[in-house]
Amino acid sequence: MRVMITGTAGFIGFHVARRLLAGGHEVTGVDGMTPYYDVRLKEARTAILAGYRGFSGHTFMLEDAQALMDLAQSVSPQIIVHLAAQAGVRYSLENPRAYIESNLVGTFNVMEAARRIGVGHLLLASTSSVYGANEAIPFRETERVAHPMSLYAATKESAEQMTHAYSHLWDIPTTAFRFFTVYGPWGRPDMALFKFVAAILEDRAIDVFNSGDLERDFTFIDDLIEAVVRLMDLPPRRGAPVAGDSLSPVAPWRVVNIGGGAPVALMDFIGEIERRLGRKARLNMMPMQAGDVPRTFADSALLETLTGYRPSTPVSEGVDAFCDWYEGYYAVSGAEKADQ
């Protein structure tokens, strides 16, 4: 199978690409290698992918419509998995334009490429942040998402709506998946787990927002990849809904939550990191971060109905796996890191 993946140097894109390559598929990767965080981490991920015979990597921004179109037409992928995006709630307050250019313009160019080549299935990453001010718990795909709390969330919700329109107009089978707090090895340095581990090992205080009164539906990366790969084989079909489906009545388009449906208190999450590292965190209690929400909680029934699968890795195992990777990647033990 020929698959084009955007964002292959990123956390999730890297894992999806590696899983498909290990399964013998051909993967064409696109990444802009932006300096939002340490590019060396992106280069290290890309170097691993380059070791697979079926990988072809390309460096350019998705805003370059002609470069993307030329590549798509030359490789004619059967599936496009669009994972490239400008992520992060806090950074959307600092550099909002990056979210418009990447998440809207970039997504539009991917849609145009998918339309032009007649792709068999377009999949794109959305986020639990689109649920915004929704108070109904757990979050269900069939709920209206009309009150985003950050520009990041607004652009991801807009991308969902844009792809729905193209799915309706051009009959493009499309699946949008809403990720819930993904974590694990090779994670992004701006994410909480990475920041907490680095700070604790270096004896720095960690910022704990809303004084720790937060809950997140943490999703381990291996669980998320399993769900994405299974959904790749299930392009939506017009007029063929299943129980509790979000399938559009006018397009072969659906949205699917990918989360375990088991929120974990932030302080318990920090406790698991302390357990693994064998040291206590110094806590800098902060007010609620602008644009953030107090709780995320996925209803995973649709994912399980479609794929027979739902994420289930305990946070204790996921934290251990991340810390093992972190210490190995930086070639230090916890004690040595703390002394540097």
- The 10s digit of each residue's pLDDT in 142-174 is 998 878 888 999 999 999 999 999 999 999 999
Question: Which phi-psi region, left, alpha or beta, contains residue 182 (left: φ > 0; alpha: ψ -120 to 50)?
Answer: beta
Question: Which phi-psi region, left, alpha or beta, contains residue 4 (left: φ > 0; alpha: ψ -120 to 50)?
Answer: beta
In the numeric block, which tokens belong to residue 127?
A: 């986020």
- The 10s digit of each residue's pLDDT in 260-285 is 889 999 999 999 999 999 999 999 99
* pLDDT value of residue 295: 85
Instruction: Indicate where the chain has its CATH 3.90.25.10 domain(s).
Output: 192-215+261-296+313-339
Query: How many angstroms separate the CA atoms of 216 and 269, rounded?
Result: 9
Of the candidates 152, 166, 183, 326, the residue annotated as catalytic is 152
Per-residue exposure over 228-238, b if at least 16 CB sit within 10 Å of its own CB, e if not: bbebbeebbeb
Query: How many angstroms separate the CA atoms of 137 and 299, rounded?
Result: 8
Other beta carbons within 10 Å of 117:
18
Return the CATH number of the domain spanning residue range 192-215+261-296+313-339. Answer: 3.90.25.10
CATH architecture of the domain formed by 2-183+218-258: 3-Layer(aba) Sandwich (3.40)
Instruction: Indicate where the chain has its CATH 3.40.50.720 domain(s).
Output: 2-183+218-258
- The 10s digit of each residue's pLDDT in 90-127 is 788 889 999 999 999 999 999 999 999 999 999 999 99
| Mean pLDDT, all residues of the chain | 93
Over range 310-323, report the average pLDDT: 97
* pLDDT value of residue 332: 52
Q: Which of 34-48, 100-114, 187-201, 321-335 has the lowest mean pLDDT?
A: 321-335
183 is catalytic: no
Over range 193-203, report the average pLDDT: 95
